[in-house]
Amino acid sequence: MVDTGADTIYMAKELAKKIGLPYKKEKGYVKGVNAKKLPIEGVAHGIAIRISQWQVRHSNQPPTHELLVKWKGLPNVGANSRNKSKPTRR
């Protein structure tokens, strides 16, 4: 999993129920560029996500220097099967 820096994740109400994500019902709308306005069902705040052996917690702190050294740079999130780029190094 790569932290893309996004502070908001959208998902279907059915998926939130399936994975047991607790959310508070809230009225509102979301609208993307060149898209129709869609109603939201609710909002979840401060959720820790665990996928396999990884534990992810929301943090406003950027990666530390030590972590970047350990990772040997930042992963190239734009890489795909055709473009197997190496991590960005500075």
What are the tens digits of pLDDT across the range 33-50?
A: 888 999 999 888 877 766
The pLDDT value given to residue 83: 47
The answer to whether 9 touches 21, Cβ cutoff 8 Å, is: no
What is the value of pTM for the model shown?
Answer: 0.44
Handedness of CA 63, 67, 72, 78 (dihedral sign): negative
How far apart (Å, rounded) are the C-alpha atoms in residues 44 and 58?
Answer: 12
What are the tens digits of pLDDT across the range 68-78?
A: 666 666 555 55
Element (H, E) at 67: helix 65-71
